[in-house]
Amino acid sequence: MMGTGKSTVGKILAKNMGVPFIDLDHFIEVKSHKTISEIFKEDGESHFRKLESDALMHIRESNLVAACGGGIILTKDNREILTNSGKVVLLQGAISEIAKRLQDAMDRPLLHDKEKVNSLTKIWNSRKEYYNDTAHFTVNVNDRSPDEVSDQIMKQVQS
């Protein structure tokens, strides 16, 4: 889910594990020479989802920590690749807290409402089954620093 700290936590986790980190959205932006917002606006969400799936295929057998966009679980093939390629961690937080984190975000093409809580609630409700089915485990990010979240993930992965 957007706004939960996937990229921030992922960088810390990768450093602590001694493996590379990749943010799939950033990878897509570099490869396409466009921002995610530009891709959505100029090419549409379905094109972005294809680029996202292609990026996942590119890294699926790599030993790394990846921060995937929240919509990557929308296709069955992506969910299967994720669950079979490593540990999938769902970072989960209260919608109200996520909305605060994203209050000034201008680069989130799926946040149309000025009332971010409404948009985030709709996104969560449409995806929560996929998130829960795909994740090997869930870590709550509420009232936790990125370092604390990373430490909890390390404990889960190592057990």
Determine the pLDDT at residue 96: 85
Whole-angstrom CA distances from 153 to 17, 84, 111, 112, 137 are 11, 18, 28, 32, 9
Q: What percent of the chain has pLDDT over 90?
A: 75
**Average pLDDT rounded to a whole number, residues 94-118:** 70
The DSSP annotation for 123-135 comes to HHHHHHHHHHHH-
- pLDDT band for 109, please (50, 70, 90 cuts): low
Per-residue pLDDT of 41-100, as tens digits, reads 999 999 999 999 999 999 998 999 999 998 999 999 999 999 999 999 999 999 888 888
Determine the pLDDT at residue 112: 57
Domains and CATH numbers, the chain: 6-153 (3.40.50.300)
Say how many residues make up the chain: 159
Least reliable range by pLDDT among 98-102, 116-120, 138-142: 98-102
Asked if 60 and 54 touch (Cβ cutoff 8 Å), the reply is no
**0.85 surpassed by pTM:** yes
Burial class (CB within 10 angstroms; exposed 0-12, middle 13-18, buried 19+) of 48: buried
- Over 60: is that where the pLDDT of 106 sits? no
Determine the pLDDT at residue 107: 56
Pick the residue with more confidence: 98 or 7?
7
Least reliable range by pLDDT among 11-20, 72-81, 119-128: 119-128
